[in-house]
Amino acid sequence: MSWRNLRRESREAGFTLVEVIVALSAGLLVSAAAYTLALNAMKSFQDESRIATSQVAVSIALSRLQGDVQRAGYMASPNIALDPNRCSTVNPASAPILAVQVAPGGSALPATFGYAAVANPNIEQPDMLIVTGNMSSSEQFEYRSIDDTGRVYLSMNRGPVVRLLAELGMNEDAVEAVFVPTQAGAVVGSRFARVVSATGKHSYVVVTNAEANLGVPGSESITLTVEGPGGATLSSLSNLECGFVNRGTGLINPVSVIRYRIGQLPVTSPYVAALAPTGDDRVTGESVRAELLREELTPAAAVAAARWNPNLILDTAALVNNAQLSSQEIVSEFAVDFDLSAVYAFSPADLRLVPFGNAAAPGLDDVEPQDFRSLRVRVATRARFPDRDETGPDDVVTRFLIPALDTSGTRLKYARVRTLTSEIQLPNLAGVTW
């Protein structure tokens, strides 16, 4: 090969190497651009998925809340202190059966949570709601007798029990749970019950146990154990007007006291381990969170949280240590606001919508529970992670500031918020005229 040919081939090879380098560089740029685009698309998809999850969560929460609120006063007294059907021997302070109780700003949270007006000007301290009614069944059960030891024997061949057994498939645990709170077949709390005597008067007792024996056909039985509220004896509730002990048949139905609030779970809650942060908390801020909680109060806790307690608040530590909650459910994770307004009947012809916490609104003592006609409820939940730096519009709740836990690390500050509002009618209070 001549020197000239060798030099020409070397030059051509050099050109080929340059072309390869240029092609690789261009390919890398295209690949980097495609990767960046895919990464941004994935992040956008995850962000939208999180906010969609928040939207679903607030919808489910509002649906759950609506079901309970519509049963406020159902098979219970709208206001036991004024109820003309109440047996005179029942002390209202020991059985605070009140259909609706609202505590403006009652969902107290620590200042570090981020409710400071400067940080979240459109979110006030969330409210608290307590509703009372028959939440576990739609029946009044006939009983054959109530003896002096507090044993209530239900009539097994009557319609309410027959329908209950058909609905629950002869499941003993499920039947018992209608009358007392149970978990894994074990009683975990007590519940009020309304007793309607043959005279038509209403008394209230506390159901501490339920025993359903359904295994032997023809020998089925459902027996309740009851006691007087506030430590009263059953005999003290008995008189000629409204006594029910050893006075023949009557009706009985369970009555639950349910509280809704936004709160942070105590470290002893079984939920805490499952809700542990899934990433670096300096970035995600997951530990700075609260949930919309649905809690069934025991009768003792209901007394402590009755409407004559201005805040309707029970100490969190006491709830855990003294087992004052029969149950605690997370209705919605990452809840940030729970706001209540009400339509009051100041007179049959005078209905007013009043937001709680408004300086011009009447105090809770100005309106009795039976004067509620509907509740306007607003629930807001945030996305799991902060994904915005800006606050959003000043006049609506669209962002929630997640305060930094420390000065290390960097993260976006604001999580997007989804809010739903619904007006819930109170059908069991519509006809109350006293």
Whether 359 shows a pLDDT value over 50: the answer reads no
Instruction: Give pLDDT, residue 46.
Output: 56
Whether 360 shows a pLDDT value over 50: the answer reads no
* Percentage of the residues of the chain whose pLDDT score is greater than 70: 76
Q: Report the 10 Å Cβ neighbour count for 305.
A: 23
Whether 320 shows a pLDDT value over 60: the answer reads no
From 97, 76, 87, select the one nearest 242 (Cα to Cα).
87
Instruction: Give pLDDT, residue 43.
Output: 59
Q: What is d(CA 356, CA 345) in angstroms, rounded to the nearest whole number?
A: 15
pLDDT band at 44 (very low <50, low <70, confident <90, very high): low
Q: Which amino acid is it at 423?
A: E
Domain residues of the chain, as ranges? 47-130+258-429, 141-254
pTM for the full model? 0.85
Rounded to an integer, the average pLDDT of 172-199 is 89
Q: Which amino acid is it at 212?
A: A
Rounded to an integer, the average pLDDT of 388-402 is 76
* Percentage of the residues of the chain whose pLDDT score is greater than 90: 30
Whether 313 shows a pLDDT value over 80: the answer reads no
256 in Cβ contact with 132 (< 8 Å): yes
pLDDT band at 416 (very low <50, low <70, confident <90, very high): confident
More confident residue, 56 or 426: 426
Rounded to an integer, the average pLDDT of 83-108 is 89
Whether 184 shows a pLDDT value over 60: the answer reads yes
More confident residue, 118 or 363: 118
User: If you average pLDDT over every residue of the chain, what do you get?
Assistant: 80
pLDDT band at 290 (very low <50, low <70, confident <90, very high): confident
Whether 217 shows a pLDDT value over 80: the answer reads no
Q: What is d(CA 169, CA 184) in angstroms, rounded to the nearest whole number?
A: 17
Rounded to an integer, the average pLDDT of 260-278 is 76
Q: What is d(CA 195, CA 197) in angstroms, rounded to the nearest whole number?
A: 6
Whether 362 shows a pLDDT value over 60: the answer reads no
Exposure of 221 in the CB half-sphere (CA atoms within 13 A): 8
More confident residue, 110 or 382: 382
Angle at Cα 70 formed by Cα 65 and Cα 71, nearest 5°?
Answer: 105
Q: What is d(CA 59, CA 34) in angstroms, rounded to the nearest whole number?
A: 37
Q: What is d(CA 99, CA 426) in angstroms, rounded to the nearest whole number?
A: 9
